[in-house]
Each structure stands twice: as C-alpha cells, then as structure tokens.
C-alpha cells in the first residue's frame, strides 16, 4: 500500500462531499437548491475586510508567533472576558487555522492510543475522526431528541469505563441546532471532574442562539466551582461570516495549550497573518453585524421550521441555535421512491436530490437515523422554493 493505514481508518468529510456534489451539478447547468451549506451566506462585514486590506498594505504578510500574534491573543482574552465572563492570559490561548485545527490539535495533544473519548450522537462528522486520528477510540453516547438532544445520562453511565480520558461537547450543535440546558452541561462537567475526563467544548455557534442566553461551559465550570479541565474551542467562521479566512482558537489550561502549540508549530507554523489582523477588528470592533446576521437567521429558522412542519409526514423541533433544522423523516422510511426502497436517510436524501434537485444531508451520516439536516443559511425565497420541491418529491413516494 502506498498510503498509510491511518488513511483507511478515517472517513472523508461527509458534509464537504455534499457541498462538492451540489457544485458539480450546478457546473453542469442543473438548477440545484443547496440545503447542505455549513456557512453563513453573508460576506464578511466591511470593516473586517478593510482591516485585512490595511494589514496587507502595512506588511503584515509574514509568519507570526506560532501560537498567534500577541495583539490577537490579547483581543481574544478581551472578548472571552467581555462575552463569556472567563479570564485568560495570552499564554492560555492558541490561534489556529480555523477551529477545526484547534479541535484536531487538542485531540492530538490530549489522547493516547488505548484511550476512549465520549462523543454524543448525533455528532458533527469530524469528531470521531479527530479521535481516531489520535489513535483513541470514539464511544458514542445517545442523546434525547425530545429534549434538545441533551445527553442521555443513563446511556452515558452504561458506557463509562476506565479507558475514557475525554469528552467532546458541542452546544449549540451541528447537526441538530439543539442547545443544551445549563443543568445538562453542569451535570456533565461534574461527572468529567469526578472521572478525570478532559472536556473539549466546541463553541463555534456561541453567537447564534435564538432563545435564551449562551453560557460557555468553562463559565459554568467556574461559577459552580466544579474544577473540571475544559478546553474551549471557538471560531470566527460562523460569528463573523469568515469561514474562508480560517481563523479559530482554543483557550484552556496552560499545560494543554502549550502541548497543542508544540504540535501546531510543527504542523503549520502559525495561522494566517492577515486573518489574525482582521480578527482583531472582528473581536474588538463594532458588533452590530453579528446581531444583524443573527436576526436574519432567526427569521429564516422560523420560516424553515414552519414549512417543514406543514409538510405531510415530517416533524421538526424548533432548534435554538446554529443554522440547521433537523426534521424527522421516519414516516418515509421503508417505502418506495423511484422504484427503490428507501431504507435509510442516505436513500431519502439521494431520492430527493435525484427527483427534485435539492441537496440535504442525511442524518445517518451524523449517527442519527430517520433525520435529515437542512441548513437555513440561505435566503427566504430559496427556502420556500426548496421546501416546495421536497414536498413534491415526498408526494411521489408510494405508501
């Protein structure tokens, strides 16, 4: 074999495959509606783009400190204090090329071969792969769909064993849009502290919460005096519509951040310098753009959920965060579409794509059978037209 065994062990990014499929169909002139998008459709706000242009002109085109420019890490500390109520110093921060890299590097820095790591199902597709690439084993734990996809603590208890070294949490969640209650997070942190698990908290959708207030896991850890070890991973991607800039960061105990920094230093040296300069403006500049985008997402969420619930056979809980709806398509399982048995949501998604050219993401890919993910990071007209098409496809499914 010319490639290493580890390549065999990991799955390609499933959601990126859907995006590629939509792009290919479009390039063939097919009128595709894409509900698989995992990023805001807005451009990065103007003042942030201007900061990047200025950075280029001022010569910020060189390597930066491996863990990130000191001014940017200071800006991150200011933001963490201002918005999350948690205090860090720049040496507790690592800036990465997107939060995905922060999460990957955290797993590399924390887990050994033989360790197990808890992941809640439905999960973001990359979590199990990060764990496997660290040669550890993902342990999938159920959540409660009727309760914001919060952890099923009895399932967690039944799967707890001495090999577990960490747990990855993600609230608001991709793919469900669910936001866990503070109680659920506190209970998990207490268990993690008792068992000595490291908690990796993926908070990339922290600013996209529509009902209630976001409280960072580390803030709950401190206010409840729990004492768990928490590595918080955050991103500029979703908050400031900066997915292509590749800027994310991790904050946590100095020992872990230093270990992550050592690995990242050998992998990529540092994050993109221009993005870091723009990131300072994003975090310290006018925040009204964040509210404007959030308000647009809120209206789209309400429209998407209403249309899905008005569709025969579908049930869709109202997600409190992120920009995904996660309707239940179970009523269409094991029926015939285009003379083919629709045995899982991969089949249903494919049937919808082939019959009405709407791209969706099957929940089976996230460990959630019966559900399909619909992103509403697109405009209202597209949402209406897309759901109309989905209804047409569903009407053609035989009883």
Ligand X SMILES: Cc1ncc(COP(=O)(O)O)c(C=O)c1O
- The nearest distance, CB 103 to ligand X, in angstroms, is 6
> Which residue, 16 or 336, is less far from ligand X as judged by CB?
16
Closest distance to ligand X from the beta carbon of 234 (Å): 8
Query: Does 328 engage in binding with ligand X (CB under 6 A)?
Result: no
Minimal CB distance to ligand X: which residue? 98
Piece of 51-59, 94-102, 111-119, 137-145 that binds ligand X (CB under 6 A): 94-102
Binding to ligand X in span 29-68, by CB under 6 A:
38
Among 34, 121, 148, 170, binds ligand X (CB under 6 A): 170
Helices assigned H by DSSP within the chain: 5-9, 14-27, 46-57, 70-84, 99-110, 126-133, 153-159, 182-195, 217-223, 254-267, 273-284, 288-309, 345-356, 380-395
Separation between Cα atoms, residue 280 and residue 93, nearest integer Å:
14
Least CB distance to ligand X at residue 126 (A):
7
Q: Which of residues 112-141 bind ligand X (CB under 6 A)?
A: 124
Q: Which two tokens stand for residue 279?
A: 């990131």
In the numeric block, which tokens belong to residue 57? 């002109």
The SS3 assignment for 227 reads: coil
User: With respect to ligand X, which residue has the nearer C-beta, 169 or 348?
Assistant: 169
* Minimal distance, residue 157 CB to ligand X, in Å: 25
Contact between 336 and 373 (Cβ < 8 Å): no
Residue keyed to tokens 């209403």 = 306
* Among 28-36, 98-106, 279-287, 295-303, the segment contacting ligand X (CB under 6 A): 98-106
Q: Which is nearer to ligand X, 324 or 332 (CB)?
A: 324
Please tell me whether residue 99 binds ligand X under the rule CB under 6 A: yes
Of the residues 45, 84, 90, 100, which one makes contact with ligand X according to CB under 6 A: 100
Q: How far is the CB of 278 from ligand X (least distance, A)?
A: 14
CB of 98 to ligand X, least distance (A): 3
The Cα–Cα gap between 305 and 134 comes to 38
- How many CA atoms are closer than 13 Å to the CA of 360, on its beta-carbon side? 32
* Pairwise CA distance, residues 210 & 295, whole Å: 8
Separation of alpha carbons 389 and 367, rounded Å: 26
Measured between alpha carbons, how far is 41 from 379 in angstroms, rounded to an integer? 8
C-beta of 122 vs 248, nearer to ligand X: 248
Contact between 201 and ligand X by CB under 6 A: the answer reads no
Q: Which lies closer to ligand X via its Cβ, residue 96 or residue 116?
A: 96
The answer to the question of residue 321 lying near ligand X (CB under 6 A) is no
At its nearest, how many Å lie between ligand X and the CB of residue 16?
A: 10
User: Nearest approach, Cβ of 28 to ligand X (angstroms)?
Assistant: 26
Cα distances from 165 to residues 86, 160, 172, 196, in angstroms, run 24, 10, 23, 7
Residue 202 in the binding site for ligand X (CB under 6 A): yes
Helix, strand, coil % in the chain, rounded to nearest 5: 45, 15, 35
Rank residues 271 and 358 by Cβ distance to ligand X and give the closer one.
271
User: If binding means CB under 6 A, how many residues of this protein chain bind ligand X?
Assistant: 13
Phi, psi angle pair for 308, to nearest 5°: -65, -45
98 binds ligand X (CB under 6 A): yes
Output 278 or 394, the one with its CB closest to ligand X.
278
Give the contacts of 45 (CB within 8 A, at least 6 positions apart).
240, 241, 282, 289
Contact 368, 326 (CB under 8 A): yes
Distance of closest approach, residue 248 Cβ to ligand X, in angstroms: 4
Q: Which of residues 226-255 bind ligand X (CB under 6 A)?
A: 235, 237, 243, 248
Q: Name the β-bridge partners of 373.
A: 361
Q: Residue 330, interface with ligand X (CB under 6 A)?
A: no
Contacts with ligand X, residue ranges (CB under 6 A): 38, 98-100, 124, 170, 174, 202, 204, 235, 237, 243, 248
């Amino acid at each position: 074999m010319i490639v290493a065994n580890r390549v065999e062990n990991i799955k390609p990014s499933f959601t990126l495959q859907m995006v590629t499929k939509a792009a290919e169909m479009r390039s063939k002139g097919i009128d595709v509606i894409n509900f698989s998008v995992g990023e805001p459709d807005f451009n990065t706000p103007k003042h942030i783009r201007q900061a990047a242009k200025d950075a280029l002109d001022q010569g910020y085109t060189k390597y930066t400190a491996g863990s990130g420019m000191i001014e940017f890490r200071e800006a991150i500390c200011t933001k963490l204090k201002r918005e999350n109520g948690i205090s860090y110093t720049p040496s507790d921060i690592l800036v990465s090329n997107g939060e995905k890299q922060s999460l990957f590097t955290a797993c590399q820095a924390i887990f050994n071969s033989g360790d197990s790591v808890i992941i809640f199902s439905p999960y973001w597709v990359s979590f199990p792969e990060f764990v496997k690439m660290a040669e550890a084993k993902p342990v999938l734990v159920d959540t409660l769909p009727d309760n914001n996809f919060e952890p099923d603590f009895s399932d967690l208890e039944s799967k707890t064993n001495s090999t577990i070294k960490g747990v990855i949490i993600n609230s608001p969640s991709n793919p469900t849009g669910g936001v866990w209650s503070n109680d659920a997070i506190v209970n998990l942190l207490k268990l993690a502290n008792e068992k000595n698990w490291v908690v990796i908290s993926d908070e990339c959708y922290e600013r996209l919460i529509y009902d209630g207030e976001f409280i960072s896991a580390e803030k709950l850890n401190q206010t409840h005096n729990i004492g768990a070890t928490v590595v918080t991973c955050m991103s500029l991607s979703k908050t400031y519509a900066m997915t292509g800039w590749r800027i994310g960061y991790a904050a946590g105990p100095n020992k872990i951040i230093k270990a992550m920094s050592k690995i990242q230093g050998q992998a990529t040296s540092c994050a993109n310098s221009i993005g870091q300069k723009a990131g300072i403006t994003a975090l310290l500049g006018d925040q009204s753009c964040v509210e404007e985008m959030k308000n647009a997402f809120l209206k789209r969420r309400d429209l998407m959920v209403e249309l899905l619930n008005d569709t025969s056979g579908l049930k869709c809980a109202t997600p409190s965060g992120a920009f995904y709806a996660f309707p239940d398509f179970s009523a269409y399982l094991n029926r015939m579409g285009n003379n083919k048995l629709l045995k899982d949501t991969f089949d249903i998604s494919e049937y919808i794509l082939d019959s009405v050219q709407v791209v969706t993401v099957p929940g089976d890919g996230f460990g959630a059978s019966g559900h399909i993910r619909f992103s509403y990071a697109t405009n209202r007209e597209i949402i209406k037209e897309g759901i109309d098409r989905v209804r047409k496809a569903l009407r053609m499914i035989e009883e």
